Structure 1
Amino acid sequence: MRQRKLGSQGLAVSEQGLGCMGMTFAYGPADDQEALRTAHRAFELGVNLLDTSDFYGPHTNEEFVAKVIAGRRDEVVVASKVGNEVTPDGTITGKQNGRPEYIRASVEGSLRRLGTDRIDLYYLHRVDPDVPVEETFGALAELVAAGKVRHLGISEAAAPTIRRAHAVHPLTAVQTEYSLSTRDVEVNDVLATVRELGIGFVGYSPLGRGLLTGAIRNLDNLAAHDFRRVAPRFQEGNLDANLHVVEQLEALAAAKGITTGQLALAWVLAQGDDIVAIPGTKRVKYLEENVAASAVALSADDLAALDRIAPHGSTVGDRYPAGAMATLDG
């Protein structure tokens, strides 16, 4: 697994990380033993970046990651997040909270649950519209000075917000959804801004929450509490339109002798050496398939074909339900 540098502060990570959210949250029942096998197999294959958040569960995902990194902390880059408000008793309020006192209290909880004395990459998960981002990042910068956090990032932030946060303390990474079905950062100045400022980019959901693998043709086999049951892109009508694009991707993948998911992942990795993808899975089989995408070489003709098949705006439906869309910055 090749490594890539995130930002200009010296953080190097595997070009594919492992998104841990789905191992305990949002995508159906958890299977701790299979998830642990998957995470340990990821290490064997050269993956060293684990992505979690206090929001996932809530709290249980960080506790799961603690089991994964036990005994090998120095081998792993742990990324977590703060800012989607969770009360001390584990209640998700649906609000954003960027107040300095909340940040300071939250990091202590994350450190305790993760069983570590530092978080390698700590993101502001969502921007609080009621708190100047400068105040939030002032508190986050204090955590770096105290040694509790090594590097800072921000998730789902608009370009002007990224500039303001970076002016307070250098950002190592911006994390935003990025895939053949979600190319917003190419047109809203986010990707251009992080490159101008020397900030790394981490793309989450590079497989479009499974849409781009071709495995989801309807919602029948999804668990009752699977997030995709309420995600607009998977709703009746929208899903049919989106599968028309997927079918074209499947044809191109078949011609190359790879899976559709590998084609989608290889495309993300081909967008620049400053981009890291964090596909999420809780199964060894799919992890190994994902990792193999790092060996896929896409030609200029392949990339041009993908631009024709899945240009920006080709996916039908918002990324999230309306309430969650309202939490995105800009």
Structure 2
Amino acid sequence: MVGELGLGCMGMTGAYGSPADWDEAASIEVIRRAMDLGVTMIDTAELYGPWVNEKLVGKAIAGRRDEVTIATKTGLVSVDPELGLNHVDCRPMHIKLAVDASLYRLGVDVIDLYYLHRPDPTVPIAESVGAMAELVQAGKVRHIGVSEYSVQQLEQAVAVHPIVAVQSEMSLWTRDALAGVLPWCEANDAAFVPFSPLGRGFLTGTVATTFDARDMRSRHPRFQPEARDANDLIVARIRTVAERLGASPAQVAIAWTLAQGAQVIPIPGTKRLKYLEENLAAADLVLSADDLAELDDLPEAVGHRSNMPQFLGAR
């Protein structure tokens, strides 16, 4: 059992902003404040940083380990952090080595929720999930999750070992999961953990128009000038609902994800205390049937939802 909202830590050590924004002490303060406010799931990955994000989380939870569920991931490996280039590696050998490294960086004896970060087209799902199951048997991992798996891939995974959580992108401008993956989670008693419920910051209505070269949004299709004008219309309509409710656009966006089902546990991320508290307050925002209908009627975003290139060849 975890709280209604988790905390995504990816942006604390890269991905968004510039190196000048990456402040370890401030991020540790955010994580600890989140715990004070009732957040009980902290989300990280070996990829983030890469590697340093898990160390950051480990420092933040030191002395408070029993208060949180730690979720981390393996299977997506950084090739070039500057360009955001990665390759998928879900070979059993990599998984078995990676878990020990994550345990060390986090400073914990067991990982509560261990995800396969992406499906690996070069490795049978049964082999990857089988290796994860061995980690459960060895006492290194408590539960297994997967990220960005299709329904067909989920069926292959759950045939090997119970899958307790499925992580994928979902927000008011990314609603693909509503058609298949979310209903699968409902039917299989699995949590659905949407990342980027704020559309990588876009849905807050406060995101910059230009980005540092190391900010992944500088290359993201939906943030390019040709797409941005159209996508700004989505934010304008979210803001209309927010003003009517006396809330912020961010709170409306998060409340919408929560309204998609009791098993939905969004993990908005932030590096700043004021945004942390604003985001967590979304759990108390009640959207009426009319509000939800208005939000459901928003147009689709212009541009592909991901800019994550991957090398799938030789490792």
Q: TM-score range by the shorter chain?
A: over 0.9
Per-residue Cα deviation, 1:278-313 (whole angstroms, up to 9, x for no partner):
000010000000011111001101101111224xxx
Q: Which amino acid aligns with 1:185?
A: A
How many angstroms apart in 2 are the aligned matches of 1:204 and 1:249? 19
Aligned to 2:181: 190
Match of 1:9 in 2: none
CA distance in 2, matches of 1:159, 1:40: 35
Q: Which residue number corresponds to residue 114 of structure 1?
A: 106
The correspondence for 2:309, drawn from 319, 323, 328, is 323
Cα deviation, 1:91-133, whole Å, max 9, x if unaligned, reads: x872211111111001010001101111000000011101100
Match of 1:264 among 247, 253, 257: 253
Could you tell me which residue of structure 2 aligns to residue 208 of structure 1? 199
- Deviations along 1:202-261, whole A, 9 cap, x unmatched? 000000000110012512xx3331111111000011011100111111111111100000
Q: Partner of 1:19 in structure 2? A: 8
Name the SS for the 1:122 alignment partner: strand
Q: How does 1:217-256 map to 2 (within 5 A)?
A: 218-219=209-210, 222-256=211-245
Q: Does 1:150 align with 2:150?
A: no
Return the alpha-carbon distance in structure 2 between the equivalents of residues 48 and 192 of structure 1: 25
Q: Is 1:56 the counterpart of 2:42 in the alignment?
A: no
Q: Quote the offset at 1:323 in angstroms.
A: 2.4
Q: Work out the percentage of aligned pairs sharing the same amino acid.
A: 50
Report the TM-score when normalising by structure 1: 0.90
Distance 1:164 1:78 in 2: 25
Residue in 1 aligned with 2:24? 32
Q: Which amino acid aligns with 1:283?
A: R
Aligned partner (choices 239, 249, 262) of residue 273 of structure 1: 262
Give the TM-score normalised by structure 2: 0.94
Residue ranges of structure 1 left out of the alignment (5+ in a row)? 1-11
Match of 2:88 in 1: 96
AA aligned to 2:221 is P
AA at the equivalent of 2:198: L
Cα distance in 2, alignment partners of residues 165 and 260 from structure 1: 36
In 2, are the aligned partners of 1:17 and 1:276 still within 8 Å (CA)?
Answer: yes
Give the letter for the 1:121 counterpart: L
Structure 2, unaligned stretches of length 5 or more? none
Shift of 1:163: 0.8
**Structure 2 partner of 1:161:** 153
Q: Distance in 2 between matches of 1:136 and 1:52?
A: 20
Residues 1:304 and 2:298 are matched in the alignment: no
Contact between 1:22 and 1:282, CA under 8 Å: does it hold in 2?
A: yes
Aligned residue number for residue 130 of structure 1: 122
Whole-Å Cα distance in 1 between the matches of residues 156 and 104 of structure 2? 30
**Cross-structure match for 1:81:** 73
User: Does structure 1 conserve the Cα–Cα contact (< 8 Å) formed by 2:193 and 2:266?
Assistant: yes
Superposed CA deviations along residues 55-106 of structure 1, whole A, max 9, x for unmatched, are: 001100001001011011111100000001358xxxx872211111111001
Distance in 2 (CA, whole Å) between partners of 1:273 and 1:161 is 23
Rounded to whole Å, the distance in 2 between the matches of 1:50 and 1:198 is 21
Shift, 1:184, TM fit: 0.4
Residue of structure 2 aligned with 1:170, choices 162, 171, 183: 162
The answer as to whether partners of 1:267 and 1:298 remain within 8 angstroms in 2 is: yes
Letter in 1 for 2:225: E
CA contact (8 A) 1:217 1:243 kept: no
| Count of residues in Structure 1 that have an aligned counterpart in Structure 2 | 306
The 3 A distance-change label for structure 1 pair 241 and 299 is same
Q: Which residue of 1 aligns with 2:276?
A: 287
C-alpha distance in structure 2 between counterparts of 1:232 and 1:42, whole Å: 31
Aligned-partner SS, 2:306: coil
